[in-house]
Amino acid sequence: MSDRTVISDARLVLRKDLRIERASKVVISQVVPFAIMTLVLFGFGISPDARVVLGEGASRSVQAQVAPGLIFIAILLSALLALSRSFGVESADGTLDGLRLAGLDPAGIFLGKAGAVLVQLLSVGVVVTSGAFLFFSVQVDWTIARAVLLVTTLGAATAGIAAAGTIYSALAAGLRVRDTLVPLLVVPVLAPVLLGAGQAADAALFGATVDGWPWVGALAVFALLYGWVGIISFDSLLEDA
Strands (E), the chain: 51-55, 58-61
Which pTM does this prediction carry?
0.89
Give pLDDT tens digits for 34-86. Answer: 999 999 888 888 777 667 766 666 667 788 888 899 999 999 999 988 888 77
Q: Which of 115, 113, 183, 122 is nearest to 150 (CA)?
A: 122
pLDDT of residue 105: 85
pLDDT band at 120 (very low <50, low <70, confident <90, very high): very high
In 136-212, alpha helices (H): 144-171, 178-189, 191-205
pLDDT of residue 1: 43
pLDDT of residue 55: 63
Look up the domain containing 21 and give its range.
Answer: 3-240
Q: Is the pLDDT of residue 181 over 90?
A: no
pLDDT band at 179 (very low <50, low <70, confident <90, very high): low
Residues near 67 by beta carbon (within 8 Å), at least 6 away in sequence: 132, 133, 136, 138, 205
Residue 112 phi/psi, 5-degree rounding, is -65, -45
Domain total for the chain?
Answer: 1
pLDDT of residue 2: 46
Query: How many CB atoms are closer than 10 A to CB 236?
Result: 12
Q: Is 54 helix (H, G, I), strand (E, B) or coil?
A: strand
Fill in the DSSP letter of residue 211.
G
Residue 138 phi/psi, 5-degree rounding, is -75, 120
Q: Which of these ranges, 94-103, 104-113, 196-205, has the smallest mean pLDDT?
A: 94-103
In 94-135, alpha helices (H): 95-101, 106-135
pLDDT of residue 217: 97
pLDDT band at 90 (very low <50, low <70, confident <90, very high): low
